[in-house]
Chain A
Amino acid sequence: MEGFAAQKLNEFETGKISRRGLIESLTLAATTLYATDSAKAQADQTLKAQLINHISYTCPDFKRGADWYSMVFNLDQVGATKRDVALPIGKKGEQPYNVTAKDVPLPHLIIRTPDANAAPPAGGARPKPTPQGVIDHFALTVADFEREKAKAELIALGVKNVRDGGPRSLHMDDVFGYDVQICGLENNALTDG
């Protein structure tokens, strides 16, 4: 905790984070991350993903992309920069659905546009290798999902290529032709596929 506090204080002093950011970081750290049984944590070499933190979505125009996701899924836009914006699934202060751990934030989409003038990796670092795997679509869980009603709403919103995804979900094309799925809680790891 002491090292973390020192790091954050340094960031504050060098202007990397604001006074508010400093206070928030330290408060959060003191009440969550470092409030756990550290001895137990040290002994445990198992990592366990708790939730998706974010999905990073790259597109030609992040504002257009973000506006589409906001319009269709009622997601707010926060923390916009020149090249990206975050769309949290939920409102500030809320817990992720059915998650009680206080150190798990709301999942969010980050809609971004690449910087065409970005400098090459510094210090001769290798560029990222081209992946052979691809996320071909992602699915969002919607409360009180009813497929036919949802289909009508999507079509009314002007969403393109709305189609059934089995009995429990719908697929659609987003504004850049990316495949997005929506479904209810009944579509899950034990029922899908």
Chain B
Amino acid sequence: MERFIADLVKSFESGKVDRREFCKTVALAATVYAAGDAAHAQATRGFRVIGVNHLSYTCPDYTRARDFQINVFGLENAPGHDDGKRANLMFGPEPGKGGTFIVARNPSPTPSNRPPAQAYVDHYCYTLSNWDEARVRAAIKAKGQEISGGRDGSLHVLDPFNYDIQFANIIEENAFRR
């Protein structure tokens, strides 16, 4: 900007632009600069979140949590990442294209030195597509699970460690229809 103004002044001084044109050009430059700055500020302010990347679930035996998720909700064990201490359980779009995963893991052998948080995730909810109430309930029963709560279109089940997992359709669980 400074260079631009300097050149403009030079042009004015040499008579290449008159006073009126000079003023108009400066005003225009300021407007363009401000617009660009605002656009830049808008683009860089904060983050654009596009999805949930993963949830990290720590439990006494990750293999039981893993098997539950695969068996009940159809998650897939990411190849090469089940190392005897944890597994990455994939679902949704492809990995790298917006897919989500649950990290099921055993507790760390070294205790955390983090102070305890005042907040916690008390449950999470999966969306199931093509919801059919009878089919969903029958499938849960067929897998040896018990519905622990909820209502039609939005049900809960407890995992092997009594963690509350909800599963629902778009009608009953939708941020814009609360």
Contact = CB atoms under 8 A, between A and B. Distances in A.
A6 to B, nearest CB: 12
B49 A73 contact: yes
Given A47-B136, A108-B175, A179 B114 contact: yes
Interface string A39-55: 00110111111111111
Contacts of B93: 97-99
B126 A52 contact: yes
Interface of B: 44-60, 65, 72-75, 78-81, 83, 86, 88-101, 103, 114-132, 134-136, 138-140, 142, 148, 152, 158-159, 161-164, 166-171, 173-178
A7 B152 contact: yes
B127 A49 contact: yes
Interface residues of A, number: 93
Nearest to B97: A98
A130 B56 CA distance: 18
B85 to A, nearest CB: 9
A78 B175 contact: yes
Contacts of A176: 117-119
Contacts of A32: 170
A56 interface: yes
A2 interface: no
B173 A53 contact: yes
A72 B153 CA distance: 32
Contacts of B73: 47-49
Contacts of A73: 46-47, 49
Interface string A64-107: 01000001111100110100001111101000111101011111
A68 B58 CA distance: 25
A107 B50 CA distance: 9
B88 A193 contact: yes
Given A49-B92, A54-B173, A141 B53 contact: yes
A21 interface: yes
Contacts of B91: 48-51
Contacts of A118: none
Contacts of B164: 128, 131
A99 B59 CA distance: 30
B117 A183 contact: no
Contacts of B135: 41-42, 44-45
A28 B140 contact: no
B95 A74 contact: no
Contact of B161 (A74, A131, A187): A131
Given A41-B132, A45-B135, A47-B140, A105 B47 contact: no
A136 interface: yes
A88 B98 contact: no
Given A98-B98, A141-B52, A179 B127 contact: no
Contact of B49 (A46, A58, A74, A103): A74
